[in-house]
């Protein structure tokens, strides 16, 4: 029987025949696993009897988390990594070789931009950018040596949603792989593999873990791609430890109820902000003024817990942030606590120089990540902080 996602978030990936008979998956705190005799070792090495051997390769707790994530995303397989950036980096290094051309969206997390435009080019990879929400620019950027298109949907920090179906159609026509960072959507709001994307990555640090208490990343795809990436992953060794894997499993069990609340509260705050004179512009996938808002409504089941908005100046952004009493001033998102940052303060000024697109950070841009606090309390806090800058 096919189970609904709330049930799968609680139970998928975990075996019921656990040795301890404990309800939660055990934390397997070991770096190495022994064999009963040399024949058992030989059967393992010959691929006859596959099992855990060494912690860099496999760990039962981490494997359970990988199975859960693959099930939620609709992927054949998954690799858990030490961070979201490692997940992106190891995948790009495995797929691309010197002389290949990589196309990236102009709006990506700034460390991803740095990886592509400053690091990959040193390995002989050609990198170019295309404008967000402009599939025509993607078609025009494709070359004979183009191997991959890397994008985000929704993007960070402007929450632009890409037309995934149109992107996949263009790239499949030219035999180009597609890779999307879907962190800001989470599997509760968008499933890119369903639209034909080849590879999905998440920073599990954010919504998937959901408690601002661990770092992790995941790569999700079909078995052939994951097997290829896993070989380099085993060599580089950026694996997730067992305790963080356990915390991630625990966080995923509440993912559906957390996302439902964050979707609802963020949408209410976005609608409220769009009516305020002090706010120049609101960035949220469902807002009518947002590019591709119709696409967002077609391919997403919810619009996420992040709202970005422009207050006109960096001074206004700082004053607003300082006037808030509930959110912490911190550079992350997706957790139980609301977090807020004046975005232009934390993004390096060299970012604009590293891209060839139109991606710009407004001086007054604020990014608010909604947590699990009461909606009325958060709305009142936001309204009061707006009054402080008027």
H or E, element range at 126? strand 126-130
Q: What is the pLDDT of residue 72?
A: 96
The candidate with the shortest Cα–Cα distance to 326, out of 341, 312, 338, is 338
Q: Same structural domain for residues 227 and 271?
A: no
**Span 363-383, mean pLDDT?**
97
CATH number, domain of 182, equals 3.40.640.10
Note down the domain range covering 286: 255-389
CA 9 to chain centre: 17
Residue 349 has pLDDT above 70, yes or no: no
Label residue 355 by pLDDT band (50, 70, 90).
Answer: very low
Q: Same structural domain for residues 88 and 54?
A: yes
pLDDT digits 0-9 by tens, 286-298:
999 999 999 999 9
Q: Same structural domain for residues 287 and 349?
A: yes
Q: Same structural domain for residues 342 and 261?
A: yes
- Hey, what's the torsion of the CAs at 165, 167, 173, 175, to 10 degrees? -120
Q: Same structural domain for residues 348 and 239?
A: no
- Given 201, 225, 253, the domain boundary residue is 253
- Given 253, 268, 300, the domain boundary residue is 253
Label residue 357 by pLDDT band (50, 70, 90).
Answer: very low
Q: How far is CA 324 from CA 233, 270, 284, 291, 371, in A?
A: 42, 16, 20, 29, 14
pTM score, whole prediction: 0.91
- Given 236, 253, 270, the domain boundary residue is 253
Q: Same structural domain for residues 233 and 271?
A: no
Q: Same structural domain for residues 71 and 100?
A: yes
- Please give the mean pLDDT across all residues of the chain: 92
**Mean pLDDT lowest among 240-254, 312-326, 349-363:** 349-363
**Mean pLDDT lowest among 11-20, 40-49, 193-202:** 11-20
- Hey, what's the torsion of the CAs at 27, 244, 200, 145, to 10 degrees? -110
Q: How many domains does the chain have?
A: 2
CA 68 to chain centre: 16
CATH number, domain of 350, equals 3.90.1150.10
Q: Same structural domain for residues 281 and 141?
A: no
pLDDT digits 0-9 by tens, 153-171:
999 999 999 999 999 999 9
């Amino acid at each position: 029987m096919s189970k609904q996602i709330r049930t799968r978030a609680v139970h998928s990936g975990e075996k019921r025949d656990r040795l301890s008979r404990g309800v939660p998956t055990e934390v397997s705190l070991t770096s190495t696993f022994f064999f009963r005799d040399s024949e058992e070792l030989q059967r393992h090495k010959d691929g006859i009897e596959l099992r855990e051997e060494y912690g860099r390769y496999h760990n039962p707790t981490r494997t359970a988390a990988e199975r859960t994530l693959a099930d939620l995303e609709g992927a054949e397989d998954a690799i858990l990594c030490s961070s979201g950036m490692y997940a992106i980096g190891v995948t790009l290094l495995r797929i691309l070789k010197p002389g290949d051309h990589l196309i990236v969206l102009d709006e990506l997390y700034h460390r991803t931009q740095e990886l592509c435009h400053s690091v990959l080019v040193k390995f002989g990879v050609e990198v170019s950018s295309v404008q967000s929400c402009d599939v025509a620019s993607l078609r025009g950027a494709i070359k004979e040596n183009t191997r991959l298109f890397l994008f985000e949907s929704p993007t960070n920090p402007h929450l632009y949603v890409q037309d995934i179906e149109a992107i996949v159609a263009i790239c499949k026509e030219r035999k180009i792989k597609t890779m999307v960072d879907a962190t800001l959507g989470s599997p509760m709001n968008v499933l890119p593999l369903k639209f034909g994307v080849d590879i999905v990555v998440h920073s599990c640090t954010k919504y998937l873990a959901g408690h601002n208490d661990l770092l992790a990343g995941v790569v999700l795809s079909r078995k052939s791609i994951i097997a290829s990436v896993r070989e380099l992953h085993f060599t580089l060794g950026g694996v997730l430890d067992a305790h963080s894997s356990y915390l991630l499993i625990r966080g995923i069990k509440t993912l559906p109820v957390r996302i439902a609340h964050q979707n609802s509260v963020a949408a209410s705050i976005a609608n409220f902000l769009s009516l305020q004179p002090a706010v120049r512009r609101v960035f949220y996938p469902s807002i009518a003024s947002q590019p591709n808002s119709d696409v967002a409504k077609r391919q997403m089941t919810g619009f996420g817990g992040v709202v970005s908005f422009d207050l006109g100046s960096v001074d206004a952004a700082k004053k607003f942030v300082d006037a808030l009493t509930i959110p912490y001033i911190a550079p992350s998102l997706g957790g139980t606590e609301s977090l807020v940052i004046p975005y232009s303060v934390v993004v390096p000024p060299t970012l604009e120089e590293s891209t060839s697109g139109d991606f710009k950070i407004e001086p007054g841009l604020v990014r608010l990540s909604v947590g699990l606090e009461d909606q009325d309390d958060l709305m009142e806090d936001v309204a009061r902080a707006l009054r402080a800058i008027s």
